[in-house]
Structure 1
Amino acid sequence: MKIIRITKLFSFETGHALFGYDGKCRNVHGHSYKLSVTVIGHPIQDNTNVKFGMVIDFSDLKKIVKEEIVEVFDHATVFNKNTPHVELAKELEERGHNVLLVDYQPTSEMMVIDFSEKIKKRLPDNIKLHSLKLQETETSFAEWYASDNE
């Protein structure tokens, strides 16, 4: 049976700041992120199954990624909770802003690692996460590959 990879694209708007960074990104700013999620598996061979011929229904993959990533991160501001940014986060929350406190520096690299763990936990056993690509700007992105992390 053939192994197939399928990819679904997502987009969301997120703000962040990098505590201790020596450049402009130490300031609160935002990005229009694009996330490519690629999974790998065998197409369903049972012709009585409503998902016959699919690795995974795109709508099922969409549900997972929307619930774990897009709905959580979209229009939120992300800060590392282990830095003094926690004070800024508290003030923003008090003013009604959507703030996420994470236990890592909210770079594209660390976010894509976080996303990989969240998505892997929700996939059916017969489907594996193959790769993620998190595009921060038109010319900058971070990639995660399962083969690099085995």
Structure 2
Amino acid sequence: MSQIRLTKKFSFETGHALYGHDGKCRNLHGHSYKLSVTVIGTPIDDSTNPKYGMVIDFSDLKKIVKEEIVDVFDHATVFNGNSPHDELANELIKRGHHVLLVDYQPTSEMMVIDFANKIQKHLPNHIKLHSLKLYETATSYAEWFASDNPS
């Protein structure tokens, strides 16, 4: 049977600051991120399976991405936890803000790598993550392709 690619789109609002950056992005700011998640697999050919004819139920893919990415990053402020921004982060946390300290510079490039790792861990064995596209703005995005990143 044919391999089919399915894509589901998500959106979330996230703030960040890039420690040591030589431009405006060193300042605390936010983005309306758009994330496209594409998986690849063969439609289920067992007519007794409730998911018959599907590669994956879109609602199952939505659950994975929502729990691992959207619910975690939406309306959070993300800082590189290995930078002096941890002081600002801790102050914001004390004041009740939703802050994420990650072990990387929170650029779109590094975030999309992190997202790929998180999503892949939760996909059923017969489905592979094909690609991710993370829009930081309407005209700027980072892409991740499985074919460029053999495990």
**Alignment-derived partner of residue 86 in structure 2:** 86
**Alignment-derived partner of residue 119 in structure 1:** 119
**Alignment-derived partner of residue 148 in structure 1:** 148
Question: How far, CA to CA, are the matches of 1:140 and 1:91 in structure 2?
Answer: 31
2:138 partner letter: E
Q: Unaligned stretches of 5+ in structure 1? A: none
**Alignment-derived partner of residue 108 in structure 1:** 108
Percent identity reads 79
1:58 partner letter: F
What displacement does 1:3 show?
A: 0.2
- TM-superposition CA deviations, 1:46-101 (whole Å, max 9, x none): 11111010000000000000000000000000000000000000000111100000
2:119 partner letter: I
* Structure 1 position 45 matched with structure 2 position 39: no
Question: How far, CA to CA, are the matches of 1:123 and 1:50 in structure 2?
Answer: 18
Q: Unaligned stretches of 5+ in structure 2? A: none
SS at the partner of 1:134? strand
**Alignment-derived partner of residue 95 in structure 1:** 95
* Structure 1 position 135 matched with structure 2 position 126: no
Q: How many corresponding residue pairs?
A: 150
1:126 partner letter: H
1:88 partner letter: L
Question: How far, CA to CA, are the matches of 2:74 and 2:22 in structure 1?
Answer: 26
* Structure 1 position 76 matched with structure 2 position 71: no
Aligned-residue Cα RMSD (Å) equals 0.3
Runs of 4+ in 1 over 4 A off after TM superposition: none
